[in-house]
Structure 1
Amino acid sequence: MPVRERRAAVRPALVLDRTAARPRAVVLLLHGGRSESERPPTRLNLPGVRMRPFTRAVLRATEGQDVVVGRVRYRYRGWNGGRADAARDARRALDELEQLVGPVPVVLVGHSMGGRAALAAAANEQVTGVVGLAPWCPPEDPVDHLAGRRVVLLHSDHDRVTDPRESVALAARARAAGAEACAVLLPGGDHAMVRRAGVWHRLATASVTALLGLGPFPPEVADAFRRTAGEGSTGETTDPARHV
């Protein structure tokens, strides 16, 4: 194994932005990446930069609440097929987290590839909620492990990198599997979350605090949950996504 890969393999997957003496909950953020790449992320990695405003917003919103906030550090930029490297790193970060803070509830927030990794890592029993930002949701990804979790997927209806229809479909499949899940579509946004940035930050942060039990869901997300609450066991609905 090359030296660079050996170093990546032993580096912690968990990076903490704030600790707490007596943690009541944890928020972990996962940035995006590529479908295929075995190169390690750089310090100025653009997908990581995109998540910084969300990290700052979560830190502000949970100030004084004994909420630990951190990030997942990837070994590689890519998902890399069946290896699912980003999901493996997310699971490593959760294992490291448990050693540090014990069994406390965890909310995962992931963008694009990070959203896919967050959804996969939600099989960990500590994870109680997931917020996916323009998540990559291939139809073959399993959802049974999301039973009992709450999942909020936010997606631009003009996204040309990841498909918003797949977020809507995954939310429906997750509901059929026993999750409380919804998809909210943002008209006119983009995959990088630059257009309508204020809306992205507001919905994501308020969804996180709601999943932590620190406040209500934003009206758009609460409405999306209400619209899906009366579905049958198949999780089917005529209007499964809420536009805002």
Structure 2
Amino acid sequence: MTTGPARTTGPGSDGQRVPHRALVVHRGPDTPRAAVLLLHGGRADGPGPPPRLNLPALRMRPFGSAMSRALRGREVLLASVRYRCRGWNGPRADAASDARQALDELAARAADIPVVLVGHSMGGRAALLTGGHPAVRGIVALAPWCPPDEPVAHLRDRTLVLLHDADDRVTDAEGSWLLADRARQAGARAHTVAMPRGGHAMLRGARHWHRLTVDLVAALLDGTPLPEAADGVRPA
């Protein structure tokens, strides 16, 4: 996979290029035993940096807040990925490159802890593409962008759950179902949930999205059975 240009950001106070830091830690216990990494959405194309008012990032905040409340009292690190670019940008796959860098930074900060990725839309695609990273235990993909030719062999022995509303008009739920089927054939423990509402923005029925995501993450971290909603009835 092509990673694009050197991983730097704008100039610092001394005029030198500042290395890009992809990992943003929101909740960092002294000795974390696990981690959750959030990946927000973006655009198919957009080589410029995300805007200051970044709606896809704001959309993930309620998930982060729900996760933080659920993890209270547990030694779980909560972080998100900072993207260099607003878009995926074709073969460069910039969001996936940043996700991999964030995972490497996380491993350097807290080695040998299991990580669960939670990604929405473009962030769901980035999570699925980087899910073969040694630190990743599981993936929760929310209305993910799943092109038909996306690789899945690297997801062998990983647990992934794809949540999608069939009425999503931005990303195709059928793409999620097909990717899950292919990943299962490749040796992944792939599950799907047909969400009853929410569209792409996950605003209608938002509490259901938040609660189910938290429950799925907790099960993945603990190695316990997934909620019964996983592999829910798909639309005909």
The TM-score normalised by the length of structure 2 is: 0.90
Measured after TM superposition, the shift of residue 216 of structure 1 is 4.8
Q: Which residue of 2 aligns with 1:242?
A: 233
1:57 matched residue in structure 2: 66
SS in 1 for 2:233: strand
Aligned partner letter, 1:113: M
User: How far did 1:107 drift?
Assistant: 0.3
Cα distance in 2 for partners of 1:83, 1:107 equals 24
1:94 maps to which residue?
103
Cα deviation, residue 177, structure 1: 0.5
Q: Deviations over 1:136-183 (max 9, x none)?
A: 011111000000000000001100100000000011111000010111
The 1-side partners of 2:224 and 2:78 are apart by 17
State how far apart, in whole Å, the 2-side matches of 1:27 and 1:153 are.
Answer: 16
Alignment of 1:14-93 (within 5 A): 14-93=23-102
1:207 aligns with 2:216: yes
CA deviations on 1:1-51 (whole Å, 9 max, x unpaired) are 9xx955597220000001112211000000000000012112320000000
2:168 to 142, 159, 162: 159
Which structure features the higher share of helix residues? 1
> How many pairs align?
224
Q: CA RMSD in A?
A: 1.8
CA drift at 1:217: 2.6
1:218 aligns with 2:227: yes
Distance 1:174 1:214 in 2: 20
Q: Structure 1 residue 204: deviation in Å?
A: 0.8
Deviates more, 1:120-129 or 1:9-18: 9-18
User: Is residue 111 of structure 1 aligned with residue 111 of structure 2?
Assistant: no
Distance 1:64 1:145 in 2: 33
* TM-score normalised per structure 1: 0.87
Q: Percent identity?
A: 54
Conservation of the 8 A alpha-carbon contact between 1:206 and 1:216: no
Runs of 4 or more above 2 Å deviation: 4-9, 214-219, 241-244
Would you say the 8 A contact 1:108–1:118 is kept in 2? yes
The aligned counterpart of 2:192 is 183
Note the residue ranges of structure 2 that are not aligned, 5 or more in a row: 12-16
Deviates further, 65-74 or 16-25: 16-25
Cα distance between partner residues in 1 of 2:43 and 2:218: 29
For 1:215 and 1:51, locate their aligned partners in 2 and report how far apart those are by CA, in whole Å. 25
Q: 1:58 to 1:215 in 2, by over 3 A?
A: farther
In 1: Cα distance, 2:201 partner to 2:137 partner: 26
